[in-house]
Amino acid sequence: MNVLPYGDRALLLELPDTAAVVTCLDTLRADPALTDLVDDLVPGARTVLLVARPGVALDRLREVATGAIVPDEKHLDRPDQGAFRQGLSTAPIEIPVAYDGPDLGEVGRLTGLGEDGVVAAHTGTAWRVAFGGFAPGFAYLVGGDPRLAVPRRESPRTRVPAGAVGLAGEFSGVYPRASPGGWQLIGRTEVAMWDLDRDPPALLAAGATVRFVEA
């Protein structure tokens, strides 16, 4: 793990992979010593940004943050499915999905699971929100069945409808609005990922647990 200054009010933790990000985020959120030091924790695919409260020295933040993480750093460097299970005590958010996506057959072929096997694998385990990005309300979900790791489409679609459920690499996700996209689409949901009348607008926040269920 590398710890880098990020301006005069933040530190950037560089981690080996997304599984380590999830574990690191859980560790930092559970440390009471950081409560008065940190304004925000912002996860990315391989990083966690720690934004200090006004008046907090970065050297102090570095000392406390690394003190929380270093004892468990072996788990950050060699994450496994257990890393994802540590944060599953909160009630999962259930997302009903109609598994009729245009790429379901191709994903079944790529994985060797067949269409029914893909559905069983996608619904058979809890997912974690690692970080958000791409569009407001889009959450990158990790920790699912590793057999579902498939490449993005060779030719992205110019329009993917809102609610489309997709797979790409280690991630699953739900498109919050119509947009171009290159993920393999296996289903669709009516659940709104982004709603300005909701507080907060995003349904899925980093660290949340998600369960997909067959609609």
**The CATH number of the domain where 62 resides is what?**
3.30.1360.40
Last residue of a domain, one of 57, 85, 113: 85
What are the pLDDT digits (tens) for 137-157?
999 999 999 999 999 999 999
Same domain, 143 and 189: yes
Kindly report the length of the chain. 215
CB 209 within 8 A of CB 126: yes
Same domain, 176 and 111: yes
Last residue of a domain, one of 63, 85, 107: 85
Give the pLDDT of residue 89: 47
Q: Which amino acid would we find at residue 45?
A: A
What are the pLDDT digits (tens) for 1-40?
899 999 999 999 999 989 889 889 989 988 888 988 999 9
Same domain, 154 and 193: yes
Same domain, 56 and 134: no
| C-alpha–C-alpha distance, residues 76 and 198, integer Å | 34
**The CATH number of the domain where 109 resides is what?**
2.40.100.10
Domain that holds residue 52: 2-85
Compute the average pLDDT of residues 33-60: 93
**74 has a pLDDT exceeding 80:** no
- How many distinct structural domains can be found in the chain? 2
Same domain, 107 and 202: yes
pLDDT tier for residue 81 given thresholds of 50, 70 and 90: very low
| C-alpha–C-alpha distance, residues 180 and 198, integer Å | 25
Q: What angle do CA 48, 54, 59 make, to 5 degrees?
A: 60
Same domain, 80 and 105: no
Same domain, 135 and 30: no
Describe the chain by its helix, strand, coil percentages, rounded to 5.
30, 30, 40
> What b/e sequence results for 82-97 when a residue is b if at least 16 CB atoms lie within 10 Å of its CB, and e otherwise?
ebbeebeeeeebebeb
**67 has a pLDDT exceeding 90:** no
Neighbouring C-beta atoms of residue 104, cutoff 10 Å: 22
| C-alpha–C-alpha distance, residues 179 and 159, integer Å | 5
CB 167 within 8 A of CB 150: yes
Last residue of a domain, one of 39, 62, 85: 85
Same domain, 70 and 105: no
Same domain, 176 and 118: yes
| C-alpha–C-alpha distance, residues 12 and 6, integer Å | 6
What are the pLDDT digits (tens) for 162-210?
999 999 999 999 999 999 999 999 999 999 999 999 999 999 999 899 9
**84 has a pLDDT exceeding 80:** no
